[in-house]
Structure 1
Amino acid sequence: MQQPSVQEAAPEAGAYRWVALAACTLLIGAVSVVWHSFSVFLVALTEAFPWSRAEAALGFSIFVICSGLTGPNAGMLIRRFGAGRVVLAGGLVLAGGLAATSRVSALWQFYLCFGLIAGVGFSLSGWIPVVTVLQTWFRRRLGTATGIASAGVGVGIMVLVPTIQALILEAGWRTAYLAMAAGALVVTIAAALVLREGPLARAPVTGVAAVEDDPYLIDRKWAERPWSLHLALRTGRYWLLLVGFFLASFTSQQLLAHHVAYLRSAGVAALTAAGIVGVVGIASIPAKITWGIASDRIGRELTYTIGASLVAASVAVLWLVPVLGPGWLPYLYAVLIGAGYASSATLPPIVAADLFRGPAYAAIFGGIALASNSGSGVGAWLAGLIFDHTGSYHLAFVIAATGVAVSAACVWLAAPRRVRRVTGRQPAARALGEAARSPAGR
């Protein structure tokens, strides 16, 4: 039986793609709160136990690194068993880890329950299944679809992080972890029931047939390769993405994991600081959608660089808070970091799909997720270590600003624009595709 061409599958195959997108948005919004609520738990844990900020932040670092280490395997499991089953398994593990975290009484127990168990469950039920499903439903507007799904993270931050802070103040951090466990379980079960791969999972996405059907393709030789994780690791482009997205997360998590503690030490009240985290979520919602649409219009590299510039600006504003006094500066910081870090959440899976589209995409992106999560873990831990030794985050801020600049340079050097044009360049792309399919073009 002849496989459907990419062109036949590309018209996004009916209304169910919107069901898949809605499920992905709900899933990532609910699950990501486990990650982004740590900044409010950090204060509660260091008040409840004789742990330093570096010791407590190391638990978060273990969480994100274990999540990253699970990434390539999560991709392989999705390819074998399907996204729905993997999300269900991940939800069970995540809920179990969070419930166990609510009972910890020693630091090693926190590392085990939150760091290891919840970290593995987060990877199996979070971003990797979402981006894997989306790239099988959307081709022309993958950036837009990914931006919409990623905006779910912002909704989760906006609504749930302040709620969790209020719950911590009212009922304690143990009850808050139990509530997160219940929420994660309900949402992952619901999402698992409707998530499935789209028609592009069955269409040829590598090789000559796919190349001839892709009107946006520029580098035919690159796209014809039968991409696998092993083959991607042998390319300079993949290593540039690993380094670039490592540094992006390294930078953002130095800020996101510690900004509540930093703002509290600058005189901001607990609920106000949590509300500022909510502003981060609010700012990230339109930003993630905007970055996705913009990347389809003006290109991945330029879009990513604009977002990185906003992160650098947020570092400067946060540094000024204790100098000039809280006032409105924390809210400006929240808008800048919310909009800026959103680009590093939205763009990596899109860039990876531009460069390494194929049946092994989930495993290839899993490797990128490992690098990204490792950056998050190192960044969160290093900022805490710097504070414990110097009593200040100033050195961490300098390192963060440098890291985000190098990250943007890596994306430019990886140059996804030289493999596929974005839809904003559609007329030229269509002409190229027609030329490739004509007898002269062959």
Structure 2
Amino acid sequence: MKTDIDVRATPGRGGRRAGLHYAWIVAGVSFVAILGAAGFRAVPSVMMTPLHGEFGWSHATIGAAMSVNMVLFGVTAPFAAALMDRFGVRPILTGALVLIATGTGVGVFMTASWQMVLLWGVLVGLGTGSISMGFVATVSTRWFVARRGLVTGVLTAASATGQLIFLPVVAEATDRLGWRWASLIVTAAALAVIPFVLLFIRDRPGDIGVTAYGGDPGAPAEPLPNGSFGAAASGLFRGARVPAFWLLAGSFAICGMTTNGLIGTHFIPAAHDHGMPTTLAASLLATVGIFDVAGTIFSGWLTDRVDARLLLVVYYLGRGASLLVLPALLSPQAGPSTWVFIVFYGLDWVATVPPTIAICRAWFGASTPVVFGWVFAAHQLGAAVAAFGAGYVRDANGSYDIAFFVASGLCVVAALLCAGIRMPKPIAETT
């Protein structure tokens, strides 16, 4: 069946067509694809207690599946752009959505923990990893010259928006219908995006006879700096020779531990341990998704005006203090102090990204996207450690308190790592 539609048009200024540049259609469909992929991020914390109740799987076992997912999500990210450069954006994006749908859909039949590791860990991890930072870089770099930063920020925020949309829905479906129906909602969301990808996504503006948005009609296409496996590997080798890379990777690993790994995976079961209804806890976690968009935008504004290292030190120390008091804030109801924690943690959730990228840019210049890809991989490795480790602590002690206290101490370590970063003198872009 023919899935292409005729989108060719005589290019006007900047490749506009009928008042709307096709790049915005690609960006819109990309946003929806990231939303569909983000649906699974709402699943683990909501379903941990039901899975434990039905199968008797420990929190550590469920956390192990999430650890595999997070590792593959992070490790896949540096190579995602290379796969899209080699095979095209549409087939990779479609295949990724199919993997997510398969992992969550077939997962309703699982009866053993190894099946959860295979389906939720491996399949969904590979799928979500293919629709992450590499995909965002590919779309924003190929299709936009003007507004590239805006598009990058919006597409990056799509994951948080997906959390906001899916968490209450998944929590309500789990509470009323059971975890299997909730899992099928994510399956349906991933499958629903595929027709739009097949119809509207194109690899490059030249494929439909237009130029990138804001680009000159006669200008050659700008190559992606991470468009090959060799470039991805060389980016790692280049970063490994610079001490700042290891300090950033170490601090960003702790960032992953204290966000996706600990709070993202275990906040809902931790709140449930204190008598809070799952739907209320899910709503609180979804609220984090609202404020992390505002926090990231404000952090980007600050990064242009304040030393990035100082910002990171403040962010990590503030996060550590909030984790230290969290066990005392959890209760059956969400009191004012709990809401203060949620708002602050939302503002701080990905506020670390702009200053971390700024430091990478100062050291690595045009190679920043691929080097940051490896720093992001460290983030996901840290998240994987926390996803399993916090579950193990819960099984061993009957509560998450020790996990929160350890995470608080690690935030202090992250602040010290960032304080130890030295900037290049003079700060100059390298090529």
TM-score bucket of the superposed structures, by smaller chain: 0.7 to 0.9
Once the two structures are superposed, what CA deviation does each residue of 1:59-114 show, in whole Å capped at 9, x if it has no partner? 11111112223233324313433444422221122221221222211111101111
Contact 1:53 1:388 in 2 (8 A): yes
1:267 CA displacement:
1.9
Does 1:169 pair with 2:187? no
CA offset digits 1:118-172 (Å, max 9, x no partner): 1111101223311343355668976654433332223222221001111112222
- 1:128 pairs with 124, 134, 151, which one? 134
Percent of residue pairs identical: 24
Name the amino acid aligned to 1:270.
T
State the partner residue of 1:90.
96
Do structure 1's residue 339 and structure 2's residue 350 form an aligned pair? no
| CA root-mean-square deviation | 3.5
Instruction: Give the one of 262, 265, 270 matched to 2:273.
Output: 265
Aligned to 1:396: 403
Q: Is the alpha carbon distance of 1:395 and 1:419 closer, same or farther for their aligned partners in structure 2, counting shifts above 3 Å?
A: farther
Map of 2:166 onto structure 1: 160
What is the DSSP-based 3-state SS (H/G/I as helix, E as strand, rest coil) of the residue aligned with 1:342? coil
> Which one of the candidate residues 277, 282, 291 is aligned to 2:285?
277
Partner of 1:219: none
- Secondary structure of the residue that 1:237 maps to in structure 2? helix
Note the residue ranges of structure 1 that are not aligned, 5 or more in a row.
1-11, 207-225, 422-432, 434-442
Q: 1:19 to 1:305 in 2, by over 3 A?
A: farther
Tell me the number of residue pairs that the alignment of Structure 1 and Structure 2 aligns: 392
Structure 2 unmatched runs, 5+ = 1-13, 205-211, 226-232
Report the Cα offset of residue 378 of structure 1: 0.3
Task: Show the counterpart of 1:229.
Answer: 236
Counterpart for residue 323 of structure 2: 315
Tell me which residue corresponds to 2:114: 108
Question: Which whole-Å CA distance do the structure 1 matches of 2:108 and 2:352 have between them?
Answer: 31
Give 3-state SS (helix, strand or coil) of 2:349's partner. helix
Match of 2:153 in 1: 147
| Structure 2 length-normalised TM | 0.79
Over 3 Å counting, the alpha-carbon distance change for 1:246 and 1:94 in structure 2 is same
- CA 1:276–1:205: 2 relative to 1, 3 Å: closer
Question: What are the within-5 Å matches in structure 2 for residues 249-260 of structure 1?
Answer: 249-252=256-259, 253-260=261-268
TM-score (normalised: structure 1): 0.77
* 1:20 CA drift (Å): 5.0
Q: Give the structure 1 partner of residue 5 of structure 2.
A: none
The farther-off stretch of 298-307 and 261-270 is 298-307
Please tell me the residue identity of whatever aligns with 2:374. Answer: G
- Aligned residue runs from structure 1 range 16-31, under 5 A: 18-19=24-25, 21-31=27-37
After superposition, residues 9-20 of structure 1 pair within 5 angstroms as 18-19=24-25
Question: Could you tell me whether the CA contact under 8 Å between 2:290 and 2:346 is conserved in 1?
Answer: yes
Instruction: Give the distance between the partners of 1:13 and 1:407, measured in 2 at CA.
Output: 45
Q: Residues 191, 283 of structure 1: CA spacing in aligned structure 2 closer, same or farther, 3 A cutoff?
A: farther
| Cα pair distance change 1:107/1:314, threshold 3 Å | same
Asked if the contact 2:276/2:331 (under 8 Å) is kept, the reply is no
User: Which amino acid in structure 2 is aligned with residue 315 of structure 1?
Assistant: L
* Counterpart Cα distance in 2 of 1:120 and 1:237: 29
How far is the alpha carbon of 1:188 from its aligned partner?
5.3
Aligned 8 A contact 1:267 1:326 in 2: no
